[in-house]
């Protein structure tokens, strides 16, 4: 009886897959198969298994280096939003937690900004999702251009964006938020549609016991307060513990804005615009 081809053996016997999975809970095993003189049909079947197949004529070191570079690129793409090119929600959650841990280690506050576009639904309803997507891409570009090199701009979801600001206390965060708010209003929009932004800020301090979901909720709540109080505003969350800012880092206008905001907060309004 003539020997079976690899194609025939794979069709009749799945022992190669069974051996890899017979003990549940164990880590997966990587297999590099060095096979020579395969027919085109057999090589295609082997490649479709998901194993790494290297021909004996291949440069092994070069092949591994190429796979390493490809793996890095795939990991990077997994953290990028397909539409805007900003970091995605997965990156956002991972790196916010990292910055909170850094705050605990260094004692330097970090701040989080949640941005929601005002009247974006009207743009979508009026001109369609294609034009809406174009506008989101433009917002992403404007945000990147108006933050610092250390700030991380993420697409939080839909028409919401998030900015993680490492080693940033409340007053500098307010300054950045106002700059972004102004920049968004200057983006050219179709006649009859006015797009602005409602922005909420939460400061995470070394003394805070808040967990990541509570920090996000604090910034999110401040953003919704801004929206409920007329939109096109920057609001500061009252939930984080205390306010500690170096006086030299704050302009006179920002001091006046914060005092005004704190006065309003006592009356049920915590706007800083």
* Residues in Cβ contact with 170 at an 8 Å cutoff, skipping those fewer than 6 apart: 109, 111, 201, 203, 236, 243, 245
Q: Which residue has the tokens 């034009």?
A: 131
| Beta carbons of 135 and 189 less than 8 angstroms apart | yes
**Nearest CA-CA partner of 183 in 243, 240, 138:** 138
CA dihedral 45, 49, 54, 56 (to 10 degrees): -40
Both tokens assigned to 82: 């397909």
Q: Which of 118, 159, 220, 225 is catalytic?
A: 159
**Nearest CA-CA partner of 265 in 232, 233, 225:** 225
In terms of DSSP bridges, do strands 110-118 and 160-165 run parallel, antiparallel, or are they unpaired?
A: antiparallel
Residue 6 burial (CB count, 10 A): 15
Percent composition of the chain: helix, strand, coil (DSSP 3-state, to 5): 50, 15, 35
Active site residue 57: no
As a whole number of angstroms, the distance between CA 135 and CA 36 comes to 53
Both tokens assigned to 212: 């990541």
Q: Which residues are catalytic?
A: 159
């Amino acid at each position: 009886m003539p020997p079976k081809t690899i194609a025939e053996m794979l069709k009749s016997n799945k022992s190669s897959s069974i051996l890899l999975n017979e003990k549940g809970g164990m880590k997966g095993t990587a297999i590099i198969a060095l096979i020579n003189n395969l027919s085109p049909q057999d090589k295609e079947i082997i490649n479709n298994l998901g194993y790494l197949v290297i021909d004996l004529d291949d440069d092994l070191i070069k092949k591994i280096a190429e796979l390493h570079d490809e793996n890095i690129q795939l990991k990077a793409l997994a953290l990028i939003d397909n539409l805007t090119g900003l970091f995605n929600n997965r990156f956002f959650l991972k790196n916010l937690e990292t910055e909170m841990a850094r705050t605990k280690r260094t004692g330097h506050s970090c701040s989080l900004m949640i941005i929601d576009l005002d009247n974006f639904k009207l743009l979508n309803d009026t001109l369609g999702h294609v034009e809406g997507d174009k506008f989101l891409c433009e917002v992403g570009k404007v945000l990147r251009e108006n933050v610092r090199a250390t700030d991380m701009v993420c697409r939080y979801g839909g028409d919401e964006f998030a900015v993680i600001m490492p080693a940033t206390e409340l007053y500098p965060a307010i300054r950045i938020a106002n700059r972004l708010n102004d920049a968004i209003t200057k983006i050219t929009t179709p006649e009859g549609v006015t797009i602005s932004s409602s922005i909420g800020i939460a400061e995470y301090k070394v003394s805070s016991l808040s967990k990541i979901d509570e920090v996000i909720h604090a910034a999110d709540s401040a953003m919704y307060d801004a929206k409920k109080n007329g939109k096109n505003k920057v609001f500061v969350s009252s939930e984080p513990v205390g306010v500690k800012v170096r006086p030299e880092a704050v302009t006179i206008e920002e001091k006046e804005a914060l005092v005004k905001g704190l006065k309003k907060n006592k009356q049920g309004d915590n706007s800083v615009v």
